[in-house]
Amino acid sequence: MAASPAYGEEKGGSSSLGEPEYGHDPASGGIFSSDYKRHDDLKEMLDSNKDSLKLEAMKRIVAMIARGKNASDLFPAVVKNVACKNIEDPNQLIRASALRVLSSIRVPIIVPIMMLAIKEAASDMSPYVRKTAAHAIPKLYSLDSDQKDQLIEVIEKLLADKTTLVAGSVVMAFEEVCPERIDLIHKNYRKLCNLLIDVEEWGQVVIINMLTRYARTQFLSPNQNESLLEESAEKAFYGSEEEDTKDAKAEAASLAKRKPYVMDPDHRLLLRNTKPLLQSRNAAVVMAVAQLYFHLAPKAEVGVIAKALVRLLRSHSEVQYVVLQNVATMSIKRRGMFEPYLKSFYIRSTDPTQIKILKLEVLTNLANETNISTILREFQTYIRSMDKDFVAATIQAIGRCATNIGKVRDTCLNGLVQLLSNRDELVVAESVVVIKKLLQMQPAQHSEIIKHMAKLTDNIQVPMARASILWLIGEYCEHVPKIAPDVLRKMAKSFTNEEDIVKLQVINLAAKLYLTNSKQSKLLTQYVLNLAKYDQNYDIRDRARFIRQLIVPTEKSGALNKYAKKLFLAQKPAPILESSFKDRDHFQLGSLSHLLNAKAVGYQELPDWPDEAPDPSVRNVEVPEWTKCTSREKRKEKVEKPFYSDSEGESGPTESADSEPESASEESGSSSSSGSSSSGSEEEEEEEEEEEGSGEQSEDKEEEEEKRTKRKEKEGSRKATSSEEASASESSSSGSDSGSEAEAKQRKVPPSSKAGPKEISLLDLDDFTPPPPQPVPSSSIVSTSLVTDLEGLMLTDTSLAPALLSPAFGAVRTYELLHRMAGEGLSVEYCFSRRPFPGDPHMVAVQIQISNNTDAEVKSLRVSEPKPLSGMRIQEFPEIERLAPGDTASVVMGIDFCDSTQAANFQLCTHTRHFYVSIQPPVGELMAPIFMSENEFKKEQGKLMGMSEITEKLTLPEKCRSDHTIVQQVTSAANVGRVPCGADNEYRFAAKTVTSGSLVLITLERREGTAAQLTVNSEKMVIGTMLVKDIVQALVQ
């Protein structure tokens, strides 16, 4: 190595205290080239792979910098060899900070290194490092925009990332670098919607804003049809929505051709998943959701945002300022939305003026015929405020109310006229200006007011007000023929001392009077014009000259003179007083541009809805059927093939890098169930499941220790069944906390104990299949445990459904429908699965288990000729085409028992035989549990006293004294849900009857010793009585 002696020497130099070499000024220290060479040495030291050499080089460089030398040409070498090293550190935090440091260096020369580092980090194992990579993208882009194409590739890759950590940051990068590449979003749209709630708050804002734009390009307007229907009604009420009407008419033509509007499910998904974020503590998130709803939701749904926006008015005044600006814009378009919150916009004397004025704007926008009197009363107190700017704004607001609502025009005008005698000149001046505008609408009726105002010229000094009065008198001089010339006389006297705007109006007044009443005002006019001719202001001189030529007939003034009167005294349209926030909603709400009412740098236009929706299938995501762990080479290959590249994104590098074990196994789970080809929707379901899974974790903790092990077991097979899970219909979404205890207990029964002669076919499983009551042969252990697990999963997974809860049952009791003997080898049993019957909430789901004990195949098993009693309805199960000997099938049928315990009779047919059978429900099965708080329970119980209350005393047997057994016995006797109870010795349960939804409330109170009292409150007395009997029997048996 040629360089080695050189640096050895230098090392000596630097270690000596003097540092002679670097102490010199380059100019005096020798020729420039030696300096250059020296840096070359340092570069080589940096390039070497010994840490000690690098350290030494760094020391020297730092020393150079400290002495004020320019070391910048060493910069790339330092970056390359020192900063970059940390990029490969085993600690993710260090990798991330190295990248952050690197990307913060704003020197063009390191662009290639930065690019490389970003690419590397984008496929890092750690989501945190990937997030940092996303952060670095905009930085690099601002440094060198030529890297755009490469950066877009990285963005595309990161967009496919499935972690919440990365989502916000990469969308931010997307917005900065390539907001126009909306096509990159398609495949990630559903995922982003589903991840949204778990993304950190700042990321949520960015994603929501981006998705708003996206939705505007991909979906149809949800209001296109409505606007036509609403048009007439809305118009009748307000008549101010001309804009809408026009739109509607324009659309009406094309509407005929159009299909009826059906919202794209993806559009709905976005609305549904953003709504909870209105509850965010972050004002920016709430605003983002609000603008999304304003721009994307059907009219009827936009209302939900009002409450949240009103809440933000409690925040800091800067937040209020921004929110009120947006509310002002919204309240013009959708007044009804904020009307219920009118009082929240009332003004306090302590509000800052800018807030007061914005609130006033909103109040004015909200004014209509019904609330105007309240609003005006409120305005009256505002006028007496000490804050004069605010008073002026209030007067303007009154003027606007007067123009918009004809009913109160006279009231307002009178009020304003009274203000003319106000002591404060500013108030008077503002009133004059507003009155002038109002009078223009109907001058004839108001000559009195004009006279009154004419008198004010003696006192009022505010130029704008004086000018307004003069204009009014001139314009309507025929209404005040006597006063007008006198006013002109006074003004002529004071002309030289007036402000410019007043002078101009004096000239105007003179001209108009000259034309209408030249006898009295000819000389005055001449005088005024002469004064004006020598005024200092050229505008005034100009005006005077122009007017003289126009009105005073001379030989030279020709044609125009004849028209002077028409020119000056033409009918002028009344000014329209409208909000400065009108039509501001063409800017995306919540944006800087909207606030400033001007396009800010980098503003992305909110696109108009398309006329035809683009192909929705672009958002479908292929579920990869091949294993997820593809090698890099393989991936590169795939890029060429568009078909695979889709799914590549989904389970590509980021996925495998994912540190969460869950998603990985889930993925493999769905690949094992390759039969299902329903793509896209499945993906979505999985995502949701993941979300619920996290909620579930918390619940699990509520269960006792022992269940934790069970859970693991459950999770294991849960993965395996994720595809069945995905196809589960919504009706499975019921479950409860209270159920978890019992259900966990049930799960404890080891599946292997269920050994028996019959086998269940997996294909027959539907989602409502409970564990088969019959024992199964050991050969099918896997499948049965799968069934149990599947069921357990449903209970817990969906425990967040409201109101109707899943049963808190003990062991499911089975009843015989057809004995083996009577059925000639066919045995049928049934049980009440206690699940809501899909499709009809008023039906009780009955699980039927049919076993073929014959040695021949049974064909076309079905229900026929149901003979229900009046009102009773039966929903047969789908026909079972064939049942092999020794096989068992399980089906569900729904029966509406009309809240009675009368038996449902029907025939069970096979291809050869008919069997008459009947199902009689125990009273406890005619209900479904509901959730109630203790207070609600008490309240409802209070309503169900007297006849509706049935009480029975009982003695609890020894074995039935623990809390656990009592709850279990009651819940097994009846399908009820436990209600929380403060007292130790009381147990409460609640349910609703399935058909009529009547409440059934059960209270069991333990007295001293073994005594107890059972109370049932229900308006269905028969049910109540029978239920008491059943429960007592269950407890004392």
Footprint (CB under 8 A) of other proteins, residues 114-143 = 126, 128, 142
Selected from 112, 553, 575, 602, the binder of other proteins by CB under 8 A is: 602
Region from 111-119, 238-246, 420-428, 964-972 binding other proteins, contact rule CB under 8 A = 420-428
List helix spans (H) across 606-680: 632-640, 642-651, 653-657, 661-672
Q: What tokens appear for 17 in the block? A: 């205290």
Q: Is 601 in the site for other proteins (CB under 8 A)?
A: yes
Identify which of residues 246 and 272 has a Cβ nearer to other proteins in the complex.
272
Selected from 28, 870, 935, 962, the binder of other proteins by CB under 8 A is: 935
Identify which of residues 209 and 948 has a Cβ nearer to other proteins in the complex.
209
Identify which of residues 483 and 801 has a Cβ nearer to other proteins in the complex.
801
Q: Is 353 in the site for other proteins (CB under 8 A)?
A: yes
Identify which of residues 735 and 810 has a Cβ nearer to other proteins in the complex.
735
Scanning residues 572 to 591, which ones bind other proteins (CB under 8 A)? 590-591
Selected from 89, 146, 153, 424, the binder of other proteins by CB under 8 A is: 424
Quote the least distance from Cβ 722 to other proteins, whole Å: 20
Region from 10-18, 346-354, 496-504, 844-852 binding other proteins, contact rule CB under 8 A = 346-354
Scanning residues 820 to 839, which ones bind other proteins (CB under 8 A)? none
Scanning residues 385 to 404, which ones bind other proteins (CB under 8 A)? 385-386
Element (H, E) at 298: none
Q: Using CA atoms, how far apart are residues 937 and 860, in angstroms rounded to an integer?
A: 48
Quote the least distance from Cβ 384 to other proteins, whole Å: 4
Q: Using CA atoms, how far apart are residues 751 and 790, in angstroms rounded to an integer?
A: 13
Quote the least distance from Cβ 659 to other proteins, whole Å: 10
Identify which of residues 268 and 938 has a Cβ nearer to other proteins in the complex.
938
Scanning residues 944 to 1003, which ones bind other proteins (CB under 8 A)? 980, 982
Binding residues for other proteins, rule CB under 8 A, total: 79
Say what angle helices 201-218 and 265-274 make with each other, to 10 degrees: 160
Q: What tokens appear for 422 in the block? A: 């106000």
Q: Using CA atoms, how far apart are residues 355 and 782, in angstroms rounded to an integer?
A: 67
Quote the least distance from Cβ 989 to other proteins, whole Å: 16
**Hey, is 729 helix, strand or coil?**
coil
Q: Is 709 in the site for other proteins (CB under 8 A)?
A: no
Quote the least distance from Cβ 859 to other proteins, whole Å: 45
Region from 351-359, 641-649, 748-756, 1025-1033 binding other proteins, contact rule CB under 8 A = 351-359
What is the sign of the dihedral through the CA atoms of 519, 523, 524 and 529?
A: positive
Q: What x/- string results for residues 531 through 550 when contact with other proteins is judged by CB under 8 A?
A: --------------------
Q: What tokens appear for 235 in the block? A: 């118009």
Selected from 52, 350, 370, 571, the binder of other proteins by CB under 8 A is: 350
Look at residues 893, 752, 907 and name the one whose alpha carbon lies nearest to residue 823. Answer: 907
Q: What x/- string results for residues 195 through 224 when contact with other proteins is judged by CB under 8 A?
A: --x--xxx--x---x---------------
Selected from 136, 137, 287, 744, the binder of other proteins by CB under 8 A is: 287
Selected from 595, 613, 812, 909, the binder of other proteins by CB under 8 A is: 595
HSE, CB side, 13 Å, CA atoms: give it for residue 982: 5
Identify which of residues 145 and 445 has a Cβ nearer to other proteins in the complex.
145
Identify which of residues 78 and 165 has a Cβ nearer to other proteins in the complex.
165
Q: Is 662 in the site for other proteins (CB under 8 A)?
A: no
Quote the least distance from Cβ 438 to other proteins, whole Å: 23
Q: What tokens appear for 355 in the block? A: 């807030």
Q: Using CA atoms, how far apart are residues 282 and 870, in angstroms rounded to an integer?
A: 57
What is the sign of the dihedral through the CA atoms of 649, 650, 656 and 658?
A: positive
Quote the least distance from Cβ 279 to other proteins, whole Å: 5
Identify which of residues 97 and 516 has a Cβ nearer to other proteins in the complex.
97
Selected from 238, 261, 346, 915, the binder of other proteins by CB under 8 A is: 346
Identify which of residues 744 and 1012 has a Cβ nearer to other proteins in the complex.
744
Selected from 86, 92, 440, 901, the binder of other proteins by CB under 8 A is: 92
Identify which of residues 93 and 884 has a Cβ nearer to other proteins in the complex.
93
Identify which of residues 232 and 349 has a Cβ nearer to other proteins in the complex.
349
Look at residues 498, 395, 747, 778 and name the one whose alpha carbon lies nearest to residue 487. Answer: 498
Scanning residues 667 to 706, which ones bind other proteins (CB under 8 A)? 692, 695, 698, 701-702
Scanning residues 357 to 376, which ones bind other proteins (CB under 8 A)? none
What is the sign of the dihedral through the CA atoms of 423, 424, 426 and 431?
A: negative
CB 770 within 8 A of CB 791: yes
HSE, CB side, 13 Å, CA atoms: give it for residue 1013: 7
CB 311 within 8 A of CB 344: no
CB 472 within 8 A of CB 452: no
The DSSP code for 196 is G
Q: Is 940 in the site for other proteins (CB under 8 A)?
A: no
Look at residues 441, 370, 428, 446 and name the one whose alpha carbon lies nearest to residue 402. Answer: 441
CB 847 within 8 A of CB 833: yes
Q: Is 352 in the site for other proteins (CB under 8 A)?
A: yes
Identify which of residues 122 and 286 has a Cβ nearer to other proteins in the complex.
286
CB 310 within 8 A of CB 341: yes
Look at residues 857, 855, 829, 833 and name the one whose alpha carbon lies nearest to residue 843. Answer: 833
Q: Which residues contact 444 (CB under 8 A, 6 or more apart)?
A: 479
Quote the least distance from Cβ 163 to other proteins, whole Å: 11
Scanning residues 728 to 767, which ones bind other proteins (CB under 8 A)? 737
Scanning residues 450 to 469, which ones bind other proteins (CB under 8 A)? none
Q: Which residues contact 328 (CB under 8 A, 6 or more apart)?
A: 358, 361, 362, 365, 579, 581
Look at residues 1008, 1021, 1027 and name the one whose alpha carbon lies nearest to residue 952. Answer: 1027
Quote the least distance from Cβ 444 to other proteins, whole Å: 33
Quote the least distance from Cβ 797 to other proteins, whole Å: 11
Q: Using CA atoms, how far apart are residues 778 and 757, in angstroms rounded to an integer?
A: 9
CB 865 within 8 A of CB 918: no
In b/e form, how buried is each residue of 818-831, taking b as 16+ CB within 10 angstroms? Answer: beeeebeebbbbbb
Distance of CA 227 to the CA centre of its chain: 23
Quote the least distance from Cβ 290 to other proteins, whole Å: 10
Q: What long-range pairs does 422-427 form, CB within 8 A, spacing at least 24?
A: 424/388, 424/391, 425/460, 425/461, 425/462, 426/388, 426/391, 426/392, 426/462, 427/383, 427/388, 427/391, 427/392, 427/395
Q: Is 607 in the site for other proteins (CB under 8 A)?
A: no
Identify which of residues 276 and 610 has a Cβ nearer to other proteins in the complex.
276
Identify which of residues 301 and 881 has a Cβ nearer to other proteins in the complex.
301
Identify which of residues 322 and 808 has a Cβ nearer to other proteins in the complex.
322
Q: What x/- string results for residues 294 through 333 when contact with other proteins is judged by CB under 8 A?
A: -------------xx--x--x-xxxx-xxx----------
Scanning residues 247 to 286, which ones bind other proteins (CB under 8 A)? 276, 279-284, 286
Scanning residues 769 to 808, which ones bind other proteins (CB under 8 A)? 799-802
Identify which of residues 97 and 676 has a Cβ nearer to other proteins in the complex.
97
